[in-house]
Amino acid sequence: MKTEPMICQVAVPSPCFNSFDYLLPNTLASHPDDLPKGIRVLVPFGRQEKIGIFLGYTSSSSLAIEKLKPIIAVLDNHSLYTPSTLTLCQFTSHYYHHPLGDVLLTALPKRLRQPVHHLTGSVTITQKGIDHIPAINRKTKQYQLLRQLHRACSTLSYQQLQETFSNRTLNTAMAQELIKIQSKHSSNHVKMASYTSKRIFQAPDFTLTSEQQHVVDMLKRQKTFKTFLLVGVTGSGKTEVYFQVIQSILAQNKSVLFLVPEIGLTPQIIQRFQARFNLPIAMLHSGMSSQAQLTDWEKIKNHQLLIMVGTRSAVFTPHPNLGLIVVDEEHDLSFKQTVGCCYSARDLAVVRGRIENVPVILGSATPSLESLHNVNTKGYERLNLTKRVGSAMTPQLKLVNLRGRKLNRGLSSPVIDAIQTHLDQKKQIMVFLNRRGFAPKMICHDCSWIPICTQCDLPYVWHKHLNRLSCHHCGATQPLAHICPQCDSSMLWDIGCGTEKIETQLKKLFSRANILRIDRDSTRHKGSFNKMLEQIHENEVDIIIGTQMLAKGHHFPNLTLTVVIDADHGLYSQDFRALEHLGQLLVQVAGRAGRNKDNGEVYVQTYYPRHPLLQTLLKKDYHAFAEYLLKKRYEATLPPYSSAALVKVKSKKLNDACDFLNQLAANMRQQNTHALDITGPFPAPIEKKAGYYQMLLWLQSTTKQQCQHGIQIITEMIKKNKPPCSVRWNIDVDPISMSI
Ligand code: ADP
Ligand code: ZN
Ligand code: ZN
């Protein structure tokens, strides 16, 4: 009886198709059931070899069987996904219009995505290999390889063999099925943890407020899928609520996925977890080595660890018995991936909750307009924590009108006085400015020449302590010429101010205070950020100057004054979301002050004190502010009252980018029988970056379905009429910013 060849579907990262067909290697043909869905396989791909994910068998292929190539090697024994995470990846690929192979690999820790030479596995010679030995030229590497394996009579590790043989020799032998590799990775026979019996939770030394208790009770009652939007003002004890709910999940021997915005915050939250739970916590973020990432990921996969705290990509971690998903600071922009597959980890967390049928908590003091809108339309349940715990009061916001006022290098006199007062009271002060460097621009006082980055056509930022100019868009740096190249003048002046300048000025004004600057420049060394945070907690610092890094999540009990140097950036922006983000930032920054019994004060310097946004925040609160913005979005039919996508294009040749998008827009408009609004093409807010011109096309529709349909058509158009090779394109579904 002639057996049908087994055709394997493999998802390989490639821009065009979701899966490719391969033949099962002969070595496995007699046990085809051995291949579980979701393992990695090495396959020939064009002239390269790529890692793909095995998706299952199919009985027919669109290609002739003779054209199909066999899989080179099977790299895992067990699936790297749970059925739910596999479904989540499929959803992601479909919804964000991104190739499945790419999504599946993105969902894995870096280590498992890397080329095969990082494999740990054992290699054996096959019967075919043994039979083949006499036929090979004795001078070849392949002969030596097979001899060595045959003589060894047992297995040799891949790494051992790599010392003598090239990857090419090894892979060719594998492709010809002369040898086979068995990966040791991810064996499932590990003892699983059971924490139900142990005392793992350390009760806090305070009792929950009645608000907290109510919210905890509501959340604990929920056993199936439901999304909660936990809106708690800063300092209202959200984290404690999470902990209490997590405790009840662990007691059922289920695990928890806890997503946080960025690595800057993970160490603090990990410390708080550790103070409360007597068990190790798994982490996943870009600050870890790839080996450490893999180790933690595997422990979650094997149910040896039950809590995973991680950034964006942790939404794909394969928890076998998930009980709860938490997204902390759900409004944060860093949950959205902006290159490659532009997924929102917050939105995928909700999708995963639905797939796994578990509750999802989205928490924030400043929830996104999307989530607020979803409370009204998608059945998210809103839970509120309206009061700060203890006797702490919400800090008072004061606007300082800069118009006509004399500034002391960026600082107004009410602000200087307030700093002095809080210093006298031995309190801490945070000065917030979201701009690194000394000055954002230099100018020649005589001829008005400005040093600009020619790759981005934007001014260089002056970093005084590095003595360099640096472009904040592409990272290029160069020394500052102290003479103007245009007119030989030595009058080069700096305009505007960054954190370094404020630091210098504060040191001058308050020479006895301990002043610490925290931004990406001052925290470049590993561990330095944490050391600085410790210094603040130990009260070794009086004044902290910080950027966005300090705005969120931190809890500094002794801090009573926050100063916002410049609130105006974002008030008048071409990006319709800028106001939302500015409001969130201001409220978050303000929330750092007055977390203890001492009342906090917040000073906000602005040239536009009458701006309705600032007035609403001042006189009312974030809630009123969000309502105001939602109303504006409704009137303009902007998201969340419509669904949008951006086609992002970049090219070194401006014409190519324009022509391509113009053509695309024209075709779309012509074919467009459905309600899809097409705006553009127009240049991105940063028109040129690192030599690439950046152009956008905005697609918008009143319903998600129509928008999805439109994106479908446009991606097919692009695949059919490929852009010139100078043009790179990507599609951002539900974009949250116009930046590329
Ligand atoms: P949020 O995340 O809402 O800004 P946190 O969870 O950081 O607030 O809580 C602020 C501080 O209050 C933390 O030190 C926390 O331990 C403490 N805390 C939380 N709940 C209570 C409570 N019921 N009584 C006293 N202190 C509390
Ligand atoms: Zn000049
Ligand atoms: Zn640049």
| Ligand with minimal distance to 595 CA | 1
DSSP letter for each residue of 389-436: STTPPPPEEEEEE-TT---BTTB-HHHHHHHHHHHHTT-EEEEE-S--
| pLDDT over 90 at 139, yes or no | no
Question: How many other CB atoms are there within 10 angstroms of residue 46's CB atom?
Answer: 7
Residue 90 confidence (pLDDT) = 96
- Give per-residue pLDDT as tens, 242-289: 999 999 999 999 999 999 997 666 677 888 898 889 889 999 988 888
Q: How many A from CA of 629 to the centre of ligand 1?
A: 29
Q: How many A from CA of 441 to the centre of ligand 3?
A: 13
Q: Whose CA is nearest to atom 9 of ligand 1?
A: 237
* C-alpha–C-alpha distance, residues 523 and 526, integer Å: 7
Q: Please measure the distance between the N-terminal and C-terminal CA atoms of the chain and give it in whole angstroms.
A: 58
Q: Is the CB of 240 under 6 A from ligand 1?
A: yes
> How far does CA 237 lie from the centroid of its chain?
25
**Average pLDDT, stretch 318-331?**
96
The model's pTM:
0.87
The secondary structure of residue 481, as a DSSP letter, is P
Residue with tokens 């700060």: 388
Of 243, 193, 204, the residue nearest 220 (C-alpha): 243
Q: Whose CA is nearest to atom 23 of ligand 1?
A: 208
**Contacts (Cβ under 8 Å, ≥6 apart) of 722:** none
> How far does CA 699 lie from the centroid of its chain?
24
401 confidence band (pLDDT: 50, 70, 90) = very high
Region for 404 from its dihedrals, namely left if φ exceeds 0, alpha if ψ lies in -120 to 50, beta otherwise: left
Of 112, 101, 113, 115, the residue nearest 341 (C-alpha): 101
**Which one of 389, 393, 552, 584 would you pick to mutate in the ligand 1 pocket, going by the greatest count of ligand atoms within 8 A of its CB?**
389
Q: Are 412 and 400 in contact (CB under 8 A)?
A: yes
Question: How many other CB atoms are there within 10 angstroms of residue 387's CB atom?
Answer: 18
| Ligand with minimal distance to 484 CA | 2
Tokens standing for residue 317: 């971690």
Q: Whose CA is nearest to atom 15 of ligand 1?
A: 237
| pLDDT over 60 at 444, yes or no | yes
- Ligand 1 atom with least separation from CA of 236: 3
- Give per-residue pLDDT as tens, 33-77: 678 899 999 899 888 888 999 999 888 888 888 888 888 888 888
What are the two backbone dihedrals, phi and then psi, of residue 342, each rounded to the nearest 5 degrees? Answer: -85, 65
**Average pLDDT, stretch 361-368?**
96
**Which one of 211, 215, 236, 239 would you pick to mutate in the ligand 1 pocket, going by the greatest count of ligand atoms within 8 A of its CB?**
239
Q: Whose CA is nearest to atom 4 of ligand 1?
A: 235
624 confidence band (pLDDT: 50, 70, 90) = very high
Q: Is the CB of 237 under 6 A from ligand 1?
A: yes
- Give per-residue pLDDT as tens, 473-508: 888 999 988 899 999 999 999 999 999 999 999 999
How does the average pLDDT of the chain come out, rounded? 88
Residue 190 confidence (pLDDT) = 47
Q: How many A from CA of 443 to the centre of ligand 2?
A: 8
At 99, which amino acid appears? P
| Ligand with minimal distance to 456 CA | 3
For residue 666, the surrounding DSSP H or E stretch is helix 654-671
Q: Whose CA is nearest to atom 22 of ligand 1?
A: 208
* C-alpha–C-alpha distance, residues 74 and 122, integer Å: 12
Cα distances (angstroms) measured from residue 190 to each of 124, 194, 253, 303? 25, 12, 16, 9
**Contacts (Cβ under 8 Å, ≥6 apart) of 591:** 233, 234, 235, 365, 395
**Average pLDDT, stretch 303-319?**
95
* C-alpha–C-alpha distance, residues 698 and 461, integer Å: 31
| Ligand with minimal distance to 481 CA | 2
Q: How many A from CA of 340 to the centre of ligand 3?
A: 21
Tokens standing for residue 402: 């800069």
Region for 416 from its dihedrals, namely left if φ exceeds 0, alpha if ψ lies in -120 to 50, beta otherwise: alpha
Question: What residues are paired with 688 via a beta bridge?
Answer: 693
* C-alpha–C-alpha distance, residues 688 and 576, integer Å: 21
Q: Is the CB of 389 under 6 A from ligand 1?
A: yes
Higher-scoring residue by pLDDT: 607, 150: 607
| Ligand with minimal distance to 688 CA | 3
The percentage of residues in the chain with a pLDDT greater than 90, rounded to a whole number, is: 55
- Ligand 1 atom with least separation from CA of 232: 3
Q: Is the CB of 206 under 6 A from ligand 1?
A: yes
> How far does CA 523 lie from the centroid of its chain?
20
* C-alpha–C-alpha distance, residues 227 and 120, integer Å: 41
**Which one of 240, 364, 592 would you pick to mutate in the ligand 1 pocket, going by the greatest count of ligand atoms within 8 A of its CB?**
240
Of 463, 471, 521, 449, the residue nearest 688 (C-alpha): 471
Evaluate the omega torsion of the peptide bond into residue 13 and state whether it is cis, within 30 degrees of 0. Answer: no
- Give per-residue pLDDT as tens, 180-228: 776 555 444 445 555 544 566 777 878 999 999 999 999 999 999 999 9
Q: Whose CA is nearest to atom 18 of ligand 1?
A: 237
